[in-house]
Amino acid sequence: FERVEQARCRLSDPPTLTYFEFTTLAIMDIFANASVDAVILEVGMGGRLDAVNIVDADCAIVTSIDLDHMAYLGNTREAIAFEKAGIFRTKAIAICADPMPPTSLINHANTIGADLWLMGKDYSFTGDQQQWGWTGRGKRFSGLGYPALRGANQLLNASAVIAALIALHDRLPVSAQDIRNGLALVELPGRFQVLPGRPTVVLDVAHNPHAAATLAESIEAMAYHPYTYAVFGAMADKDIDGVLKPLLNTVDYWYCTDLPTPRAASASDLAKRLRAFNKEALVFMDPGAAYQAALDKAGEGDRILVFGSFYTVSGVMAYRNNQAH
């Protein structure tokens, strides 16, 4: 951070950096000094105007396009897809894992001359209950184990990753066994993370309608649990009703929480929204308190779902860690 600030102050007209711009530059500085072989950068919002887009990526992946951050990116999939496609580069690999890619994304990739890989056209996957396979541009993998990450969308994500590794193979050689090991060992906290113990606790940062629908699908695929308790906190600028709707028939008891940021919707506002759907909810000042209340009520065979925001999930994770020590 000090090196970034020193570099900023050396400019004749030092710009004002946002939090995301400052941290992105600090991360880039760390990577540059560590002489890493490969770097994976996640876009914070959109793509075209995001801080990480200062990098000309060798490979850019758009996993899905849904209605989120609409005040900044537009209120249609076509508009949002154009913003996301802004991370594509001329003659560089561009992958879209969304099975229904908007025309704006395809047109932009073609206009700039990106090497576009589309799910269902340039690569695809098939699977049964035991294993799955991947095919794309003359390459094939069969008998793959399912990703260690749970969730209904993980084969779409894993397939896009394999497409990227195949496309980059000359510069970043990864063996078939490496791919199998990666699928078996991958971890991503807070993304349909099922914690050990009873009652079952599921952590998921789902905070838009598409992610909530995927979460609901993943929950329905789990083993039977008599009751499901939800600890829910969300940002006020999100489509909160759209996030709630896919899970209304899954959750039996709602525990709404305030979050430690001015952007958050209040627990009382969340409860009011649930009442509009004929659902009752309790309100709490922080995620830890909401989680403890759900834990006190839940039986060993029940399930507690924590979702709605990174703040909600991280708050419960921090509370659990404190309780463990």
pLDDT band (50, 70, 90) for residue 35: confident
Q: In the numeric block, which tokens belong to residue 250?
A: 């899954």
Residue of 29, 13, 12 whose CA lies nearest to 21: 29
- Within 10 angstroms of residue 237's Cβ, the number of other Cβ atoms is 14
C-alpha to C-alpha distance for 119 and 94, rounded to whole angstroms? 11
Contact 17, 25 (CB under 8 A): yes
Indicate the domain borders of the chain.
2-185, 193-324
Which SS3 state, helix, strand or coil, does residue 208 take?
A: coil
Measured CA to CA, the distance from residue 300 to residue 248 in angstroms comes to 22
Enumerate the β-bridge partners of residue 245: none
Question: Across the chain, what does the average pLDDT equal?
Answer: 93
Which uninterrupted H or E stretch holds 115? strand 115-118
Domain 193-324, CATH class in plain words = alpha beta
Q: Which residues contact 106 (CB under 8 A, 6 or more apart)?
A: 96, 116, 118
Predicted confidence (pLDDT) per residue in 117-164, tens digit = 999 999 999 988 889 999 999 899 999 999 988 776 889 999 999 999
| Whole-structure pTM value | 0.79
Q: What is the per-residue pLDDT across 82-92, written as a single tens digit (0 to 9) for each?
A: 999 999 999 99
Q: Does domain 2-185 have CATH number 3.40.1190.10?
A: yes
Element counts in the chain: helices (H) and strands (E): 12, 12
pLDDT of residue 67: 72
Q: Which residue has the higher pLDDT, 146 or 258?
A: 258
- Counting Cβ atoms within 10 Å, is residue 111 exposed (0-12), middle (13-18) or buried (19+)? exposed
